[in-house]
Structure 1
């Protein structure tokens, strides 16, 4: 599989496990806890696989950027966490950084 696609999927799985941490309520709820653990393992394995072909700094930055961006958007939509101008600027900077790393 293309390392960039692998990395993108790993980043999306980071969103799943980050949100799963919230739903697991400190690993006190079984199903969200299992989903969190399984997705974190798969996400790390896919990140490691992508790093076989991509530079470590680029891969990690893109992976964490996708995770941060996706988690923030999910939280704003489903946990009604606030978004303001600074949040929006941060999102733009994350997306611009990911794009720059991909182009480089």
Structure 2
């Protein structure tokens, strides 16, 4: 496989992981709105988002290490759930919580950068 093909494969995996993360946000918000699965619309949305997030996560993990992929997926999902939860459900977001969310964002960015072929040692 050429370097270009490997780069495309890696990019595709990261796009799949980003989609999985966005669907995870949808899942978390839908579960929150489902009131313990007693509201049909929210419950149906939760099931759809759950299936989509699992599919795209599993597809991404064919190319991305499980530990890195899961950490990025969970980080983006957590941040998205907090941000959208504060909008959709009028939940409070303090400056202290925002600070720690920024730490999670920085960690996710560094994990992605660590996957860059330019930063990896030769032969790894």
TM-score w.r.t. structure 2 length? 0.80
Q: How many residues align?
A: 104
**1:77: which partner in 2?**
87
Q: Which runs of no fewer than 5 residues in structure 1 stay unpaired?
A: none
1:27 to 37, 55, 64: 37
Is 1:64 the equivalent of 2:74? Answer: yes
Q: Which structure would you say has the larger RCO, counting Cα contacts within 8 Å and 6 or more residues apart?
A: 1
**1:54 paired to 2:64:** yes
Which is helix-richer, 1 or 2? 1
Structure 2 Cα separation of the partners of residues 27 and 82 of structure 1: 23
Match of residue 87, structure 1, among 91, 97, 105:
97
What displacement does 1:79 show? Answer: 1.6
Alignment of 1:30-49 (within 5 A): 30-49=40-59
Over 4 Å off, 4+ runs: none
Give the TM-score taking structure 1 as reference length: 0.95
| Displacement after TM superposition at 1:19 (Å) | 0.5
How far apart are the structure 2 equivalents of 1:48 and 1:40?
A: 12
